[in-house]
A and B are shown apart, each in its own frame.
Chain A
Amino acid sequence: GEDVEQSLFLSVREGDSSVINCTYTDSSSTYLYWYKQEPGAGLQLLTYIFSNMDMKQDQRLTVLLNKKDKHLSLRIADTQTGDSAIYFCAESRGNTPLVFGKGTRLSVIA
């Protein structure tokens, strides 16, 4: 199948903003998700956005969606060391399995 693309690594200083980008493939995707994975653990849903929205904000998290370019981003404000993890974007295509990107490893430098 076609891939969801993410850059593999991002490094930021504590207190700065982090922006993690994702390019998805299916213009008919209805929901797009961001998951967080801490070392040795499963994935946890951070946030999601419906495809008819441009932006969604949830405390320190802001999701931006550009449907024309099939581009999704996750901004984490005031990044903390506890935000160090792997972040996955995923797209939903109805009842078929979610399609995940390869994940972006975020490293936060104190």
Chain B
Amino acid sequence: DGGITQSPKYLFRKEGQNVTLSCEQNLNHDAMYWYRQDPGQGLRLIYYSQIVNDFQKGDIAEGYSVSREKKESFPLTVTSAQKNPTAFYLCASRRRGDYNEQFFGPGTRLTVL
């Protein structure tokens, strides 16, 4: 089955530690995205990548980093510089072009203790 996987579903970390969230897709999509979701805030774009080895900052990139070494993978690192990292993180992917459905992964809930 084609789709997007995010692991783990739930993640707990101590304050001050970096943590990397995994996102893998087997849809052969060019573009991949990371969003953060907080209650009542909707989706906020952290980083996106339109092509391998290239990525752009979204609206709230501070305290996060990404890499796109492979087409199917777009890991997100939440660094200790992110002041309030506890949130629900969603990864998405999409074929390039004006209309193409954007598919979402199931999300990772990160809790920093």
Contacts and interface: CB of A to CB of B under 8 A. Distances in A.
Given A50-B99, A100-B43, A43 B33 contact: no
Contacts of B43: 43, 88, 100, 103
A42 B42 contact: no
B36 to A, nearest CB: 12
Interface in B37-66: 40-43, 45, 48, 50, 58-59
Interface of B: 4, 31, 33, 40-43, 45, 48, 50, 58-59, 90, 92, 94, 96-99, 101-107, 109
Contacts of A82: none
A98 B94 CA distance: 10
Contacts of B109: 40
Nearest to A93: B98
Given A92-B98, A95-B98, 5 more contacts: A33-B102, A35-B104, A45-B102, A94-B98, A101-B42
A97 B37 CA distance: 16
Contacts, number: 55
B33 to A, nearest CB: 6
Interface in A39-95: 40-45, 48, 50, 88, 90, 92, 94-95
